[in-house]
Structure 1
């Protein structure tokens, strides 16, 4: 609420002179525009500003400028009674334009609120968005010195911030709080997941409301998904280069509004906040958590030749990491042109305020941090003791939600898998690479495959973390789909307009004999088997599994492993595959149910390789060669070995359940053959089991099998296949 009861009348300046507006001093915190039911408090941080104007935009696009005369700790602020949700606004910041000193203030630019909760309109790319003479830039040149800005007003060419209504009826909403060891993550794109689904009304396709539709929720529940990880939904910009090529920034890793849900994903763009909240509420009712893929490492403003839309014009040197020897230029640890500067307290504040806002106001359940190593860089090196980690650790709100790191960036020393602090889980890139290599038959992969299958203790145990710290995945948005992983050896990205230079070239993929589409029934059968192998391996590994949307349907991107700019059928889920690939979908549902039903596949603690009781012969885990003898050091070191069996003892689960009760499960034997030829596996002796029942067979299109196998019996396992047996006697 406003604190000054003695309102003053302050004149408002602008191209059109409106009537006098009531302006109270207001408060420096919270930052941004905060509506309290009677009026709105506006505040903006800028250490370099000499003057700041709040600009109110009416329905006709006319501007009224209000000087912000109150400044506390470099925060400029005012309270305006009777300003209510829906009011469009922006800021103009007056100060030095001196790129050589790192400053780029340009009052001709209507700047978006870094704390804006909603935005209106679109960008019109042209001179008005840029603080240098675009005609003076040489094609292909860097032109680090822009000269004097041409002072072309951006009003009418840029988006505007919008005062948001904070009030919403959440009812009895609460977070599912699913424990990590029970979590199954499904990575999805709001538009890609819903755009072509025939069961969603046309007006809701591609939207938050579409994602909350019962047909989507039912599909997720059928896969036993407990958490929906959404690709970026913070308000983002489409790059002018892509728009010129007829493309769009489909993935959304180009944020400028860290508090606003992307309004192009709303059925009604003017109610994006309420629609997002309704989506979260519906997913929570289905016991599905919502995790956001967030991009706090860079912004949409790009490098020194990018547009001026907010941070650059507000306080360039505070918000961005600049090159020490040339402050005109930006450090780029992200491959996008700039890097945010989390060493600055107000940038850290923005990140933490944003995270808290999405938890407390939008009710999300966790975050996946894109290129998280960038946030951990203090001077240049990645530092696990950085201020960002300290703030997260002590924050009573952010520290209690799921925190997932993409533990790398593109800078030197940026690959940090296994090195994040104890609160964090990580996308385990080593799991992805190893599992891919193993199933394509690469030599000398068996030992590391065993480590990845059992939770990657070599990466996480020493720092006190559990198997669930490993976010296991075979595919994600970045790279081949699962179908393409078994259908292409090379990327096919010509549609992206970069002459196939973009995207990862070393994909660890195998096309099974022919590049791309084929009618060969043997190759098609092998590809399907390989997809089942990946599904079974992912779901039966210790750790937290993540599914890439559409892999359960055999979705293809025609070999394009970098569809960041493809907002088309190439990237969207093809729901007609539900019928065409019903056997793969049925297998995915079967193996996720197997994981859900049996806690031995989702242990809370690492295996110890020891007997559970004195005198027992059988340990909690045992690795066996095809002859059922325990694997020796020499066996693991033999580069040509591609077969192994692993026994998981369901009676040796040492961690109790949430009520302190002992957990007892069935015991399982998993037999793997990544070689070309069939291998005969001998079942272990009676110490392990007298009788086994086949639960899963990837050589079977449906995975169904009820075959009973006795101890010491021989089972022939075809090449490129996996067999899961359950102890029944």
Structure 2
């Protein structure tokens, strides 16, 4: 019989030390914890070993002869009392929350549920006694010493340009990437893809969830898939389908290759909920290990979950051991794989306690004092579906935030909505009304026009309505308020005039994004005219609908994005490290000046004029050796004659015109701005 030693309660998970493996699992309410060992392919359970030691709620034990490659899981016993929030069921094999690598995938079967499935209203109160091991993925003991470490680029926030992408979707249809690695981490390090990212000036690629996630049963039954991956199964293990080699080193090597190319890697992480769903969901890990500790229950009725996320459950980040798990996960990805930053999905949930959201939540304090995480870029999605579920601008200094209001206002402005000029100017100037407090910086605002959730840029100018028929939900899914404009025809058209207008609108949106103060985030494929055929919710479309179509690439649009990125990197007046003040500097110049089409300073009346859709903006860097930048904007449907600001010392050189007219390098005092167009000028001498 195998001898188990006392072991240690920390680190949690399975830790190989070169000789044997320590196992540690947190369950504050369990009566017993059993370690289950499996053969190499996970088809047979070979041994059960009870962990007899429990220290501060962590069950632990050490086995001398357990080496990397060993498959394992847990069975946890305790009270079966769903009305009290207890859902222990030792018949269910449970995945280690700290598993670093997985073998196999979920094979959906009724035995994966802790209760016996039926149509009864109280079905979840009856324990199911079937063994679920045959249908569960298993954790694998790994040797952490084999992973590669990389030197991070450490791109300064003001010079950051983010590219939001899906590991699979970005690479599946790339014509130059070998077929056998498409859809995997290995494809992200392909030279053809990296060359493209460099050409368009990307400094950071933000990846949709790569944590191991579940393929939802109801989606598979409809021949669909959990494509986006926002239903986490494990916070420490990568999604196996994204590893071409099957080895963890593939991720670290990919990150290292991107780093060598000067590109940082940011992960979209989902610590707000898990794939176990509500009280009728499966028992795969946390629910069976310690339901009361890991999840938020409804106050006064712990049978049900406090569904702050809209996904059935919410992690209880107020519990110290759950908070510790999140921190351990973040530190692992940052140190072992070299990840440069994290975008926190539904981050509002992470900062909730019994009194609602708090920017002073213990988890935020833990992140912001951590010597590893404070060097990472931390980006919050500042909303969830709970009470007071939109808190843009409310996160503590040290966090940047997805600026959903920037997206909405910018769309409204360029689609011609009246009365939006003043709001647009605020968002264009880094939303200082939301972020300029407690010494926060302009990069607190992550600006975007489009993201994975919603229309692509091409579809934004091609559809008035969503077209989500392929999702099988009668188009009841996805946002209804898209603030889009099809330019005169719904969907694809042969009209030369409409297509020309759509192309110009794309350039207007892109130029606005790259010229705005704050941090630009570009959706992968927007520079390629990528379309999802009007589907604004491709979460379940792991196919050509959801994948980036490289065949539609327009070299002129790619070059346009590259020019904008180069302009942004070159001019500190645009990529500022400080909020704009409007005050005069030592040279007598203001860092920002707003002019009407007559070349005069904008008045309050003009800002509030609902019909005014044109403005001229002058940006001046605090660097006296840098040239000023002039942005001329006309979002109206008619041509506007605009007088350039009087400047005896400087003349203006045209750099970019969204109509793609030939650049006029001669000095001009007045210009004709075409309908729905934008021009960028540079002073011929430093300010």
Do the two structures share a fold, i.e. TM-score over 0.5?
Answer: yes
Q: Is the 8 A contact 2:13 2:96 kept in 1?
A: yes
Task: State whether structure 2 residue 205 is matched by structure 1 residue 228.
Answer: yes
Name the structure 2 match of 1:23: 4
Residue equivalent to 1:657: none
**Equivalent-residue separation in structure 1 for 2:455 and 2:616 (angstroms):** 29
Q: 1:522 is matched with which residue: 497, 514, 522?
A: 497
The aligned counterpart of 1:658 is: none
Q: Secondary structure at the match of 2:75?
A: strand
| 2:270 equivalent in structure 1 | 295
Query: Displacement of 1:59 after TM fit?
Result: 2.4
How far apart are 1:268 and its partner, in Å? 2.7
1:86 to 66, 69, 78: 69
Query: Displacement, 1:486?
Result: 0.5
Q: 1:71 aligns with which of 43, 54, 63?
A: 54
C-alpha separation between the residues in 1 aligned to 2:379 and 2:354?
A: 23
Distance 2:672 2:574 in 1: 24
Shift of 1:107: 0.6
Deviation at 1:245, TM superposition (A): 0.3
- Does residue 165 in structure 1 map to residue 143 in structure 2? yes
1:152 equivalent in structure 2: 130
Name the counterpart of 1:460: 435
* 1:714 corresponding residue in structure 2: 670
Q: Which residue of 2 aligns with 1:38?
A: 19
Aligned with 2:308 (options 326, 333, 338): 333
| Residues 583/241 of structure 1: CA separation in 2 closer, same or farther (3 Å cut) | same
- SS, match of residue 290 in structure 2: helix
Cα offsets for 1:484-517 (capped at 9, x unmatched): 0001111111111111111110011111111111
Secondary structure of the corresponding residue to residue 599 of structure 1 = coil
Change (3 A) 1:129 1:704: farther
Q: Do structure 1's residue 119 and structure 2's residue 90 form an aligned pair?
A: no
For 2:37, the equivalent position in structure 1 comes to 56
Structure 2 residue 400 is matched with structure 1 residue 429:
no
With over 3 angstroms needed to count, the CA separation of the structure-2 counterparts of 1:279 and 1:575, relative to structure 1, is same
Match of 1:629 in 2: 600
1:307-343 Cα offsets, whole Å, 9 max, x none, are: 0000000000110111123211111111100011111
Q: Is the partner of 1:76 in helix, strand or coil?
A: strand
- Give yes or no for contact 2:116–2:123 (8 Å, CA) kept in 1: no
| Alpha-carbon distance, 1:388 to partner | 1.3
* Separation in structure 1 between the aligned mates of residue 126 and residue 608 of structure 2, nearest angstrom: 65
Which of 498, 509, 516 is residue 541 of structure 1 equivalent to? 516
Whole-angstrom CA distance in 2 between matches of 1:277 and 1:671: 44
Q: Distance in 2 between matches of 1:65 and 1:169?
A: 30
Cα distance in 2, alignment partners of residues 663 and 276 from structure 1: 44
In the alignment, does 2:300 pair up with 1:319? no
Q: Is the 8 A contact 1:695 1:704 kept in 2?
A: no
Contact 2:530/2:550 (<8 A) preserved? no
Are the aligned partners of 1:145 and 1:328 in contact in 2 as well (CA < 8 Å)?
A: no
Q: Deviation digits for residues 13-33 of structure 1, max 9, x if unmatched?
A: xxxxxxx22322110000001
Alpha carbons of structure 1 residues 104 and 193: separation in structure 2 relative to 1, 3 Å = same
Instruction: Pick one of 91, 105, 109 that aligns with 1:108.
Output: 91
Query: Does 2:202 match 1:242?
Result: no
Q: Aligned partners of 1:179, 1:724: CA distance in 2, in Å?
A: 25
Residue 98 (1) aligns with residue 81 (2): yes
2:640 counterpart residue number: 679
Query: Where does residue 416 of structure 1 map in the other structure?
Result: 391
Structure 1 stretches lacking a partner, 5+ long? 1-19, 654-661
Alignment of 1:353 with 2:311, yes or no, is no
Q: Distance in 2 between matches of 1:620 and 1:127?
A: 64
Equivalent pairs counted in the alignment come to 683
Deviates more, 1:75-84 or 1:90-99: 75-84
The alpha-carbon deviation at position 161 of structure 1 amounts to 0.7
Corresponding residue number in structure 2 for 1:3: none
**Matched residues in 1 for 2:119 and 2:340: separation?**
45
Contact 1:25 1:70 in 2 (8 A): yes
Q: Per-residue deviation at 1:169?
A: 5.5
- For 2:124 and 2:662, the matched residues in 1 are separated by 66
TM-score (norm 1): 0.92
- The equivalent residue for 1:693 is 653
Range with bigger deviation, 552-561 or 148-157: 148-157
Farther off after superposition, 592-601 or 631-640: 592-601
d(CA) in 2 for partners of 1:663, 1:611: 13
Does structure 2 conserve the Cα–Cα contact (< 8 Å) formed by 1:144 and 1:304? no
Once the two structures are TM-superposed, the CA of residue 726 in structure 1 deviates from its matched residue by 1.0
Q: Residues 406 and 447 of structure 2 are in contact (CA less than 8 Å); yes or no, is this contact kept in structure 1?
A: yes
Secondary structure in structure 2 of the residue aligned to 1:43:
strand
Instruction: Answer whether contact 2:147 2:249 (CA < 8 A) is retained.
Output: no
Q: If the length of structure 2 is used for normalisation, what is the TM-score?
A: 0.98
- Alignment CA distance shift 1:686-1:324 (3 Å): closer
Query: Matches of 1:709 and 1:598 in 2, distance apart?
Result: 21
